[in-house]
């Protein structure tokens, strides 16, 4: 998104994209939603696009970045190449989650998902590792494991205990001149959270970061104004989450978790700051639209 925005804004200098992946940038959100997708169908842009707009793409097979010297403005690669830069965007990724309230809500949803899948005959062995897979005619018949089982909660707590992120300015700048960061790596001021620094590991947010960083490189300071929005489909049921619920003090629940149809509205200072829903669309989308437009949803309206 950063490289594309630079070209859209008529930047004529050299642009190099460097990735450890073997593939061109692809839509990672589809990996968890379309199980039989071919890698080529996931590409966001084909190589012809990058050639057309003179964007160099260095994939894993062409050298891996080892270090950055911000004083000399150089990047060193494992093949010995040293590349100079004028401005650089770091988007190496990871998923920082330090929000205890969000973790609790995720665990609630995860347990509900387990219930839905178990009702379909699926058996879970938590935190086990596969030692052996037995099959016949390309079909799995049985597996063997060797790691003691743990609870679902402890399994997900381990997944969610991750390092903290880098704090960015309003325009995705670091504290080092001409160095920018974007994506899961960052903590950034979110307008709908009244400028609070937040860490949100999500594809939609990462794309918004890339655009803001590109404009900042061009000395155009544009504030990031977006509402986090997550969605997926499980067993034909739609799941949505919008907003930023850290520090919420109250929840208004419409429907019941056990009925697999509900809308949960999270409130802070008597205003809705986030919503989660299962099989209640377009309710969550309506909340997201209100948050994006700066219109507060009061506790009275939520109830």
CATH number for the domain including 265?
A: 3.30.390.30
244 token code pair: 């930023």
pLDDT in tens, 41-74: 888 899 999 999 999 998 876 667 888 999 999 9
Structural domain count, the chain:
3
Q: State residue 7's pLDDT score.
A: 95
Do residues 89 and 23 both lie within one domain?
yes
- Which pair of structure tokens corresponds to residue 124? 């879970």
pLDDT score at 96? 46
Are 198 and 288 within one domain?
A: no
Q: Which residues of the chain have pLDDT under 70?
A: 32, 35, 61-63, 94-110, 112, 124-133, 138-168
What's the CA gap between 210 and 257, in Å, rounded? 37
Question: Which residues 6+ apart lie within 8 Å of 124 measured at CB?
Answer: 114, 117, 118, 152
| 112 contact partners, CB below 8 Å, separation of at least 6 | 257, 260, 278
Give the angle 38-40-44 at the CA atoms, nearest 5°.
120
Residue 61 belongs to some domain of the structure: yes
Bridge-based pairing of strands 74-77 and 65-69 is antiparallel
Average pLDDT of the chain is 80
Residue 178 preceded by cis peptide, ω within 30: no
Q: How far apart are CA 124 and CA 156, in angstroms?
A: 13
Do residues 118 and 248 share a domain?
Answer: no
């Amino acid at each position: 998104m950063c490289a594309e925005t630079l070209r859209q804004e008529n930047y004529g200098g050299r642009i190099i994209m460097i990735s450890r992946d073997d593939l061109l940038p692809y839509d990672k959100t589809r990996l968890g939603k379309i199980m039989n997708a071919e890698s080529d169908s996931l590409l966001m842009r084909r190589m012809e696009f990058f050639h057309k707009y003179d964007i160099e793409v260095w994939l894993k097979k062409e050298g891996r970045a080892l270090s950055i010297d911000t004083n000399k403005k150089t990047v060193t690669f494992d093949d010995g190449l040293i590349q100079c830069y004028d401005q650089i965007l770091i988007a190496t990724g990871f998923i920082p989650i330090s929000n205890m309230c969000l973790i609790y809500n995720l665990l609630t949803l995860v347990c509900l998902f387990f219930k839905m899948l178990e009702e379909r005959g699926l058996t879970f062995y938590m935190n086990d590792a596969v030692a052996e897979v037995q099959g016949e005619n390309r079909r799995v018949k049985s597996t063997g494991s060797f790691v003691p089982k743990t609870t679902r909660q402890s399994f997900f707590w381990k997944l969610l205990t991750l390092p903290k992120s880098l704090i960015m300015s309003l325009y995705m700048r670091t504290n080092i001149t001409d160095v920018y960061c974007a994506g899961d790596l960052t903590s950034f001021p979110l307008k709908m959270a009244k400028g609070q620094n937040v860490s949100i590991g999500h594809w939609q947010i990462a794309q918004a970061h890339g655009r803001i960083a590109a404009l900042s490189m061009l000395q155009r300071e544009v504030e990031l104004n977006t509402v986090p929005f997550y969605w997926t489909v499980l067993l034909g049921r739609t799941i949505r989450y919008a907003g930023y619920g850290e520090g919420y003090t109250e929840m208004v629940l419409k429907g019941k978790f056990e009925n697999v149809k509900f809308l949960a509205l999270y409130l802070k200072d008597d205003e809705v700051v986030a919503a989660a829903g299962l099989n209640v669309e377009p309710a969550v989308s309506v909340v997201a639209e209100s948050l994006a437009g700066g219109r507060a949803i009061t506790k009275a309206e939520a109830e």
